[in-house]
Amino acid sequence: MGQPQPEPLTPLAEDWQRALAVVAHPDDLEFGAAAAVARWTGQGKEVVYCLVTSGEAGIDAITPERARVVREEEQRLSARLVGVETVDFLGLPDGLLEYGVPLRRAITEVIRRHRPDVVITNNFRETWDGAYTLNQADHIATGRAVLDAARDAGNRWIFPEQLTGGVQPWNRVREVWAAASPLARHGVDVTDTFDAGLASLRAHDAYLRGLGDGGFDPEEFLEGISRPAGSRLGVRHGAAFEIFPLGLH
């Protein structure tokens, strides 16, 4: 008997205008989701990036002080390559993120300020493959906090100190989308924007050169993600997402 085939992915809704992507590190979005971002900005949608850390602990051969500058520069370039002009850095400590009220508070403020229809984050399940490939602690903490902050943002009695200078509660986040989740049931065709996503990953040059023995192949890696997702959509390249509906309106 052959191996069971993965279930088809349902196409993501695209009847929205503004998205906020909140992830732990520079490069997190580029490992799979950036091609989808390029598709959406090409449709005229607005996407804003928020990086919780600056990835300063991510390059063994570079001190955190220098790595912070390099990785922020690479992230801004990477974002521009997929049509994203606004990139926020929260400056929290790389590798030491903890799920809890302070992280929820920081992300809630960003959501209230940018007022997105959809919030995008990375997979925050325990593994990447549903079995053995363990996820990283910062990803898990950030994703869980994003999910809560998307609800916190609509409650004026949670973090009310943020409601100054015209900032108001924001309860119109429809859904949170977690890219590359092993429980993904939805996806988007990125065949036409795969190359833009690849360019955005390659923009993280200093980081990629520091991976392992330096032989990391960005194209091979992204192909390994996008082709299986694409086959579940009936297209060449796809990006998969797990959807968390908020049901706030």
Residue 30: pLDDT over 70:
yes
Share of the chain above pLDDT 70, in %: 97
- Give me the residue spans of the domains in the chain: 15-245
Compute φ and ψ for 239, nearest 5 degrees.
Answer: -125, 130
| 15-245: in CATH 3.40.50.10320 | yes
- Report the relative pairing of strands 238-245 and 186-189 from DSSP bridges: antiparallel
Cα separation, 52 vs 88, whole angstroms: 8
Q: Which of 116, 174, 123 is nearest to 144 (CA)?
A: 123
Residue 66: CB partners within 8 Å, gap ≥ 6?
none
Confidence label for 211 from pLDDT (cuts 50, 70 and 90):
confident
Please report the pLDDT score of residue 3 as a whole number: 63
Token readout for 131 is 């079995």
Please report the pLDDT score of residue 99 as a whole number: 98
> What is the average per-residue pLDDT within 183-210?
96
pTM beyond 0.75: the answer is yes
- Report the relative pairing of strands 118-122 and 175-179 from DSSP bridges: parallel
> What is the average per-residue pLDDT within 217-239?
97
Q: Which of 249, 200, 195, 182 is nearest to 223 (CA)?
A: 195
Confidence label for 29 from pLDDT (cuts 50, 70 and 90):
very high
Cα separation, 237 vs 215, whole angstroms: 24
> What is the average per-residue pLDDT within 119-127?
97
> What is the average per-residue pLDDT within 166-195?
98
Please report the pLDDT score of residue 248 as a whole number: 54
